[in-house]
A = this chain, B = another copy of it.
Amino acid sequence: MTNKILLSKAGVSFMLLFIFSAFILFSCEVHIESGVGDDLPSWNEGTTKQSIIDFVKQVTDENNPNYVKPADRVATFDNDGTLWAEKPMYFQLYFLLQQVKDQAKNHPEWREQQPFKAVLEDDRETMKTFQVSDLLNLALASHSGMTQEEFEATVRAFITTAKHPEKNVLLTELVYQPMLELLDYLMDHNFKVFIVSGGGIDFIRAFSEEVYDIPRENVIGTAIQTDFIQEGEKSYLKRFPMIVPPIDDKEGKPVNLHRFIGRRPILAFGNSDGDIQMLQYTDDREGASLCLILHHDDADREWAYDRQSKIGHLDKGLEEAGSRGWTVVSMKNDFKKVFPSE
């Protein structure tokens, strides 16, 4: 009888503890599982996927000679053509053209002045002849004159509605699913992930958190000058039409990497010759590193281009990848899925 009561009491406690423990164990289980399952389901099995997984295993294993402490686990990604598509032209250019049209009413002189005239008249032939300097003029004129907050609101209005001219989906749907998984995978392993783009820093920051889960302070890009203005109880930064050097491309990427982050990345991912210096700077660090180049070789699912392309030009980068042993990621062979909606 005594035993029975004891059992009964023990039984209740046992049940409660069992439920409680099972709950805790279950929570742990979920956590452990995430390390065991396939973190990169949209990557095809093969040497590319394996080289990424092996690298992450090595740098996160304290007993491995290639171990890198979390503070130093910096990974940097180019944006256009690396995280999202860039064809038929950089997506920011659609925004730029929209901005020029929207602001034209305040600039009657643009109607007679190139490169603005061609944009306002939708004169495709002239637009095809635009040089980088023309685009820069358009960008500076249309991206300035407002406060940072006003500019961000304009980008957000654009990015939440603008559709791709060929694919007829939102531009933000043309991010690469395997890259989203890679960003997550690295962050899950305590990497600090940064975007390092030739594009506008404030343009990308307006959607980086929603689209990539990358906080805006981890976005590096080409910036334009601002003035601090204080008016009574209101203060703001006003954008004015001058680039903050360097343009965040080619040699500018390592310069800004140091300025913004203060250490060399251990992993860098690009897709064009504009990314070579970032990859060199990463490759030349003391200790382990992984350098990757996304090769656009999938005309069926995306676009196929490299040496002959003006946008996303990739020529020396392929040579350098060969001689230095960088990982060339084939969109055709390594991506099981390209876009999230596929």
Residues of A within 8 A of B (CB): 3-4, 6-7, 10-11, 13-14, 17-18, 20-21, 24, 71, 74, 148, 192, 201-202, 205, 209, 215-217, 219, 223, 226-228, 230, 233-237, 244, 251, 254-255, 258-263, 277, 280-281, 284
Q: Quick one: given A217-B261, A228-B251, A263-B216, are A3 and B14 in contact (CB under 8 Å)? A: no
Is the Cβ of B228 less than 8 Å from the Cβ of A281? yes
Is the Cβ of A284 less than 8 Å from the Cβ of B21? no
Q: Quick one: given A228-B281, A235-B280, are A215 and B71 in contact (CB under 8 Å)? A: yes
Q: Report the Cα distance A205→B244, complex, angstroms.
A: 22
Partner of A4, one of B3, B192, B202, B251: B3
Residues of B within 8 A of A20 (CB): 21
Is the Cβ of A254 less than 8 Å from the Cβ of B228? yes
**Which secondary structure characterizes the binding site on chain A?**
helix
Is the Cβ of B13 less than 8 Å from the Cβ of A3? no
Partner of A14, one of B17, B205, B254, B258: B17
Q: Report the Cα distance A259→B261, complex, angstroms.
A: 13
Closest to A324 in B: B233
Minimum CB–CB distance from A15 to chain B (whole Å) comes to 10
Closest to A206 in B: B262
Closest to A216 in B: B262
Q: Quick one: given A17-B21, A20-B21, are A262 and B219 in contact (CB under 8 Å)? A: yes
Residues of B within 8 A of A263 (CB): 216-217
Is the Cβ of B280 less than 8 Å from the Cβ of A254? no
Q: Report the Cα distance A263→B215, complex, angstroms.
A: 10
Q: Report the Cα distance A14→B255, complex, angstroms.
A: 61
Closest to A261 in B: B217
A-B contacts, 5 listed (Cβ < 8 Å): A17-B21, A74-B217, A148-B258, A202-B262, A260-B260
Closest to A17 in B: B17
Q: Report the Cα distance A76→B149, complex, angstroms.
A: 20
Residues of B within 8 A of A148 (CB): 258
Is the Cβ of A284 less than 8 Å from the Cβ of B17? no
Closest to A204 in B: B262
Residue among A11, A148, A202, A235 with the most chain B CB within 10 A?
A: A235
Is the Cβ of A277 less than 8 Å from the Cβ of B230? yes
